[in-house]
A and B are shown apart, each in its own frame.
Chain A
Amino acid sequence: MIYSEKVMDHFTNPRNVGEIADADGVGEVGNAKCGDIMKMYIKVDDGVISDVKFKTFGCGAAIATSSMATELIKGKTIDEALKLTNKAVVEALEGLPPAKLHCSVLAEQAMKSAIADYYKKQGVDPTPIIGDIGDCEDCHGCH
């Protein structure tokens, strides 16, 4: 298994690590049993994700995909962010080993889950907008 230079760059120098104390939305996905947990914080101003931070427990790919996902959605509108797929994260990282593709799925879910939390806090039901986010339980690998 070999990581691309881009993955190693985002693992070594992850962008947007940390927390946002007064976040407008927080999403957490994954579980400790499988070895990956991602937590994402967003700040939203006029429908634009003005700031985003993450914390991740997981492998190199988990940290790199979290970092890349935050970079891709920072400064974007919520609508634009929701169009971000795990595939786009993988492409931006110049590929991931097949065994690590689930990390990119987790990054997409963490971002969507933070946006869903934002909508909920606004009193808006996120389901019609975001759809089913899915969660770690959908991956049957560890059970």
Chain B
Amino acid sequence: MDKKLIYCDNAATTKVSKKVLDAMLPYFTEEYGNASSIYMLGQSAAKALLKARETVAKAIGAKTHEIFFTSGGSEADNWAIKGMALNGAKSGKKHIITSAFEHHAVLHTCEFLEKQGYEVTYLPVDEKGLINPNDVKNAIREDTCLVTIMFANNEIGTIQPIKEIGEICKEKKVPFHTDAVQAVGNVEIDVKALNIDMLSLSGHKIHAPKGVGALYVRGGISLPNLIHGGAQEKNKRAGTENLPSIVGLAQAITDAVQNIKEKQEKVSKRRDRLIDGILKIQETRLNGDREKRLCGNVNISIRGVEGESLLLMLDMYGILASSGSACTSGSLDPSHVLLAIGLPHETAHGSLRLSISEETTDEDIDYILETIPKVVDRLRSMSPLWERICKNEGITGTI
């Protein structure tokens, strides 16, 4: 029997789609020219680059010249934040507003800037994993040079009130950046309607390859370079363009934003079946708002079990998932996102994230829902923590 493999970690990375791969292939061995070269081969590369830029811009409601290709989401975040920090410092503005549960590409960049003498406000999030736009409003000061708030959270999938935050920033004339790595392709995005000044996106979350992304920078904002060198990306980001991947990104974003409503409906139905099914297990809780949530995200804490052993055991059944436990975070503390929404450490250690895609079938959901109780039963039956919870709270059984 073939070993089952149900990939439920699309928030970590995705499979490159056949369509994307086919679009990319000619750019390795046939259209391999350097877009900066004058001869035909170079010029056709430059044309493909322009076309990709137009495509990506259109997908998020931006203008072509407002798209800068990068190596991915992290670079785009670093560029936007460090760039605006440098700009701000020129006029004595050295205050940045962000949230407590951003991706590390944003958080660690902000922490780096704190060491350089900047002040950073980390806005709290509520227990449902949402930021209150009023908190943004109240945190803005005369010397605020940037507000950076993620579009959708990568762990618990909550979609933030970006439009409201955009309006506030516009009114207060403070540049607004959003890390939309998880949102692009899952949520409809129009940067103009949402008053977004800068937006980071990544290819490998939407079935393009790893190592490519983009930063949208609204016309009129002059962002200093992060990478110096050649004249690529309008002199703003040096380095020969990664054309095969950029073409792949353009194809992927086209596919991702096409029929987005249909996709949301289809995937969120399966997500809801998963959530309802897993919550039937006793002593479980959904992390993050139920409604304002990415269509593919499930994040549930299961008391009395530890996340890494849960993942290893699910892997044996062919289910590939992720967790916010300390053991999987690479540190001794569990996920900062789960702690930010107020989970106690022990509950955060037992979290399970399943991020499904359009490829996840109803049969896959059935299989996952059959398997998880078995795995939880096995782990709880050998867990002294579960034994203690049962004893203290009068619970019987394991699932």
Give A11 to B349 CA distance when docked, in angstroms: 18
Give A36 to B296 CA distance when docked, in angstroms: 30
User: Quick one: given A35-B306, A35-B326, A55-B383, are A11 and B312 in contact (CB under 8 Å)?
Assistant: yes
Query: Interface residues of B, CB < 8 Å — how many?
Result: 26
| Nearest opposing residue in chain B for A12, CB measure | B316
Segment with Cβ contacts to B, from A26-34, A44-52, A78-86, A114-122: A26-34
A93 CB → nearest B CB, Å:
15
A112 CB → nearest B CB, Å:
17
Give A1 to B327 CA distance when docked, in angstroms: 10
| Interface 0/1 of B229-247, CB less than 8 Å to A | 0000000000000000000
CB of A99 closer than 8 Å to a CB of B: yes
Give A40 to B327 CA distance when docked, in angstroms: 22
| Nearest opposing residue in chain B for A30, CB measure | B384
Give A36 to B349 CA distance when docked, in angstroms: 9
B326 touches A57 (CB 8 A): no
CB of A133 closer than 8 Å to a CB of B: no
| Nearest opposing residue in chain A for B346, CB measure | A32
A60 touches B384 (CB 8 A): no
| A 93-137 contacts with B by CB, 8 A | 99-100
| Interface 0/1 of A12-36, CB less than 8 Å to B | 1010011000000000100011111
Give A21 to B354 CA distance when docked, in angstroms: 38
User: Which residues from chain B contact A61 at a C-beta distance below 8 Å?
Assistant: 327
B306 touches A55 (CB 8 A): no
| Nearest opposing residue in chain A for B379, CB measure | A57
Segment with Cβ contacts to A, from B34-42, B85-93, B328-336: B328-336
User: Which residues from chain A contact B327 at a C-beta distance below 8 Å?
Assistant: 35, 58-61, 100
A22 CB → nearest B CB, Å:
17
A28 touches B309 (CB 8 A): no
CB of A62 closer than 8 Å to a CB of B: yes
Contact of B306 (CB < 8 Å), options: A12, A14, A57, A142: A57
B382 touches A142 (CB 8 A): no
CB of A39 closer than 8 Å to a CB of B: yes
Give A28 to B384 CA distance when docked, in angstroms: 9
Contact of A142 (CB < 8 Å), options: B304, B312, B326: B326
CB of A56 closer than 8 Å to a CB of B: yes
Contact of B384 (CB < 8 Å), options: A11, A37, A141, A142: A37
User: Which residues from chain B contact A139 at a C-beta distance below 8 Å?
Assistant: 332
Give A59 to B387 CA distance when docked, in angstroms: 17
| Nearest opposing residue in chain A for B344, CB measure | A33
- Report which residue of B325, B332, B333 has the largest number of chain A beta carbons within 10 angstroms of its beta carbon: B332
CB of A63 closer than 8 Å to a CB of B: yes
CB of B345 closer than 8 Å to a CB of A: yes
CB of A38 closer than 8 Å to a CB of B: yes
CB of B179 closer than 8 Å to a CB of A: no
User: Quick one: given A35-B327, A142-B326, are A60 and B312 in contact (CB under 8 Å)?
Assistant: yes
User: Which residues from chain A contact B309 at a C-beta distance below 8 Å?
Assistant: 11, 58-60, 62-63
Give A61 to B308 CA distance when docked, in angstroms: 9
| B 267-308 contacts with A by CB, 8 A | 304-308
B308 touches A33 (CB 8 A): no
| Nearest opposing residue in chain B for A3, CB measure | B312
Contact of B333 (CB < 8 Å), options: A8, A28, A60, A142: A142
| Nearest opposing residue in chain A for B316, CB measure | A12
A34 touches B384 (CB 8 A): no
User: Which residues from chain B contact A62 at a C-beta distance below 8 Å?
Assistant: 306, 309
CB of B386 closer than 8 Å to a CB of A: yes
A142 touches B383 (CB 8 A): no
A33 touches B346 (CB 8 A): yes
User: Which residues from chain B contact A63 at a C-beta distance below 8 Å?
Assistant: 309, 382
A53 CB → nearest B CB, Å:
10
User: Which residues from chain A contact B23 at a C-beta distance below 8 Å?
Assistant: none
- Report which residue of A1, A33, A141 has the largest number of chain B beta carbons within 10 angstroms of its beta carbon: A33
Counting from the closest, the 5 A-B pairs by CB-CB distance are A32-B346, A141-B332, A59-B327, A59-B308, A57-B385
A34-B332, A59-B327 known, 4 other contacts, Cβ within 8 Å: A28-B384, A57-B386, A62-B306, A141-B331
* Listed A/B pairs (30) with beta-carbon separation below 8 Å: A1-B330, A11-B309, A12-B316, A18-B382, A32-B345, A32-B346, A32-B349, A32-B385, A33-B345, A34-B326, A34-B332, A35-B306, A35-B345, A35-B349, A36-B306, A37-B384, A38-B384, A55-B382, A55-B383, A55-B384, A55-B387, A56-B382, A57-B383, A57-B385, A61-B327, A62-B309, A63-B309, A141-B332, A142-B326, A142-B332
